[in-house]
């Protein structure tokens, strides 16, 4: 009887070990951390852009005094981005994520209009500080694109893993869910109209 209990205990222990080693808990944690790290890089690049905006606006103000609406739009868009509380909850809440993404898109659009305004001011385009800030901003936009792409890939990997069996069971037990991902902005599905008139 004692040997039977020992064999049952050993079998139960072995079965439990095999069951829990295949549940994906550690991999879920690692993938969750990878998503958090890649999101931090996206935020880092957005912050870099936000830090460049006031300098760019100040340089343009000196040349384009009557472009007040564009300058106000850029300042307001940056303020909207800065006013959003961005923490781990953004990654867990698709609505907050979408709101953050929309605020960043608004800033991107405002900056594009600001750069377009500069085309009307040859002295501004020739200003060394403006050119330097514009180059930094273009570089930052490229870094944002790379960071967002890495985030998208990392979230895809995480979401795929968290939906597979048996990890889906473990994820439900420990409260891990799919993460929201970036989506294309409204209107980007249409090609822009180019006119040489």
The tens place of each residue's pLDDT in the chain, 197 residues long, gives: 667 777 676 666 555 554 555 678 899 999 999 999 999 999 999 999 989 888 888 888 777 766 778 888 888 888 888 887 777 778 888 888 888 888 889 888 888 888 887 778 788 777 888 888 888 989 999 999 999 999 999 999 999 999 998 889 888 999 999 999 887 666 544 544 433 33
Residue for token pair 């993404």: 101
Per-residue model confidence (pLDDT) at position 15 = 55
- From the list 56, 64, 57, 69, the residue with the least C-alpha distance to 134 is 56
Taking the CB of residue 52, how many other CB atoms lie within 10 A of it? 18
pLDDT of residue 10: 61
pLDDT of residue 9: 67
Identify the burial level of 36 via C-beta atoms within 10 angstroms of its C-beta, where 0-12 means exposed, 13-18 middle and 19 or more buried: middle
Q: Can you list the pairs that 108-114 forms with residues at least 24 positions away whose Cβ atoms lie under 8 Å?
A: 108/141, 109/77, 110/70, 110/73, 110/74, 110/76, 110/77, 110/78, 111/49, 111/53, 111/56, 111/74, 111/77, 111/137, 113/70, 113/73, 113/74, 114/56, 114/57, 114/60, 114/70, 114/71, 114/74
For residue 187, give both structure tokens.
């209107």
Place of tokens 């139960």: 12
Q: Residue 115 and residue 142: Cα distance in Å, rounded? A: 16
* Euclidean distance between CA atoms 89 and 69, whole angstroms: 34
Instruction: Determine the distance from the C-alpha atom of residue 127 to the mean position of all C-alpha atoms in its chain, rounded to a whole number.
Output: 32
Nearest-angstrom CA–CA distance, 10 and 118? 76
The pLDDT, as a whole number, for residue 197 is: 38
């Amino acid at each position: 009887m004692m040997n039977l209990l020992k064999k049952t205990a050993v079998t139960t222990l072995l079965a439990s070990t095999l069951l829990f080693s295949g549940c994906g808990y550690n991999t879920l944690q690692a993938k969750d951390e990878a998503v958090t790290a890649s999101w931090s890089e996206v935020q880092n690049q957005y912050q870099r852009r936000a830090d460049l905006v006031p300098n760019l606006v100040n340089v343009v103000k000196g040349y384009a005094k009557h472009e007040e609406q564009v300058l106000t739009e850029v300042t307001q868009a940056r303020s909207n981005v800065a006013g959003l509380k961005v923490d781990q909850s953004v990654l867990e809440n698709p609505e907050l994520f979408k709101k953050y993404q929309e605020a960043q898109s608004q800033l991107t659009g405002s900056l594009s209009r600001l750069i377009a305004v500069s085309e009307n001011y040859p002295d501004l385009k020739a200003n060394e500080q403006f050119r330097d800030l514009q180059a930094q901003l273009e570089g930052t936009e490229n870094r944002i694109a790379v960071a967002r792409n890495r985030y998208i890939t990392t979230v895809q990997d995480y979401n795929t893993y968290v939906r597979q069996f048996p990890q889906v069971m473990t994820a439900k037990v420990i409260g891990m869910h799919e993460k929201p991902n970036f989506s294309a902005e409204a209107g980007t599905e249409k090609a822009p109209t180019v006119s040489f008139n």
